[in-house]
Amino acid sequence: MQKHGLRGMLIGLVVIGFGSLGYADYPPEVSGLRIDEVQYSEDPIGTSPHHQSFVDTMGGIVTHIEGFRIYLQDPNEMDGWGAICIKDFSLDGALGDLQAGDWVGLTDVYVYEKRETTFLEYEEKWDNTDPENPVRLNPNLGFVVGTSDDPVPTPVGLTAADLAAPIEDPVDFWNVVDRHSEPYESMIVTLQDVTVGAMGLGKADDNYVLSDGTGSAWASDYLQTPEGWPDEPYFDPRIETGLHLDSVTGIVEQYYKQRDTYGWDYYQLLTRTPDDIVVPEPGTVSLLLVGLVLAGRRRRAAQLDR
């Protein structure tokens, strides 16, 4: 019995050990809410419970910077809710020196939903109700870089169904069926083996459909501004209906807008660079075709053997 008890204890220790593998310690310099505590929501449209309030957050690792948008991922929350985007509205661009791999924590930063994507607005906020005596609402606004050599978390592999595209019902109203994609907001994710479907969708006519065996998702290239791309419609020039892609990687954003005559509520994968769209090498397609032909022959041979 004693032996079993000891073995059980050892197994327990091993399980605890494995359970902590892959988890990063929060840098001692950061404090406050975890990103998932800012993001997690059971609201019908996904609004953060901290919308329009100031928070301190332990933040996460910078995964991507696009202009004044800085995306953070908590490496301990890779299953969902663990990413968020900072908008650096500060006059001095205080966050301008940040780089991918920096762990950033923030204090007294304003949580704001823009089109139902949750942002941390980094700027001084003032109550100007009395113009003679404006009151600074977030006097402790600040940030700290905890560590600067963290590996940028690997994009999370999802299926198209995980990022389910909206459906049109009735005409000109495009809404998601449910909120199961909300946890992926602002995360870097990747879809593999997808085929481009309809194009020119969404609020800016710049969304295209990506389908795999599980369903369809929406993507857009609007975060990118490479030279030589057409103004309208705005897509990576390689994208065309029917094109098969090895993978598409990007950041998830929700877009939400409801009016009397139309409505939008959808999640979109936003590519960061042309490298995020991986088109199969011509040789790969040839090998795939050879493989299909051989498989077809084998099937036919098996049928003839019956």
The dihedral through the CA atoms of 219, 216, 174, 251 has a sign that is negative
User: Least CB distance from residue 36 to Ca ion, whole Å?
Assistant: 10
Which of 75/80 has CB closer to Ca ion? Answer: 80
Q: List all residues 6 or more positions away from 280 whose beta carbon is below 8 Å from its beta carbon.
A: 244, 245, 246, 288
User: Least CB distance from residue 306 to Ca ion, whole Å?
Assistant: 54
Smallest Cα–Cα separation from 176: which of 223, 213, 216?
A: 216
Q: What distances in angstroms separate CA 245 from CA 59, 241, 249, 267, 304, one per listed residue?
A: 33, 11, 11, 20, 35
The residue length of the chain stands at 306
Q: CB under 5 A: which stretch of 4-12, 88-96, 133-141, 180-188 binds Ca ion?
A: 180-188
Name residues contacting Ca ion, limited to 17-46 (CB under 5 A).
Answer: 39, 46
Task: Please identify which residue in 116, 206, 253, 265 interacts with Ca ion, judged by CB under 5 A.
Answer: 116
Cβ-closest position to Ca ion: 118
Residue 9 in tokens: 């204890």
Q: CB under 5 A: which stretch of 99-107, 118-126, 129-137, 295-303 binds Ca ion?
A: 118-126
User: Least CB distance from residue 116 to Ca ion, whole Å?
Assistant: 4
- Residue 227's CB is within 10 A of a number of other CB atoms, namely 4
Name residues contacting Ca ion, limited to 43-82 (CB under 5 A).
Answer: 46
* Binding letters toward Ca ion, positions 252-281, x by CB under 5 A: --x---------------------------
Task: Please identify which residue in 36, 108, 162, 185 interacts with Ca ion, judged by CB under 5 A.
Answer: 185
User: Least CB distance from residue 245 to Ca ion, whole Å?
Assistant: 26
Q: Rounded to the nearest 10 degrees, how much is the dihedral formed by the CA atoms of 158, 159, 163, 166? A: 170
- Total residues binding Ca ion (CB under 5 A): 6
- Residue 241's CB is within 10 A of a number of other CB atoms, namely 12
Q: CB under 5 A: which stretch of 89-97, 131-139, 250-258, 270-278 binds Ca ion?
A: 250-258
CA dist., res. 266 & res. 274, Å (int): 23
- Residue 118 touching Ca ion (CB under 5 A): yes
Residues at the site binding Ca ion, with contacts judged by CB under 5 A:
39, 46, 116, 118, 185, 254
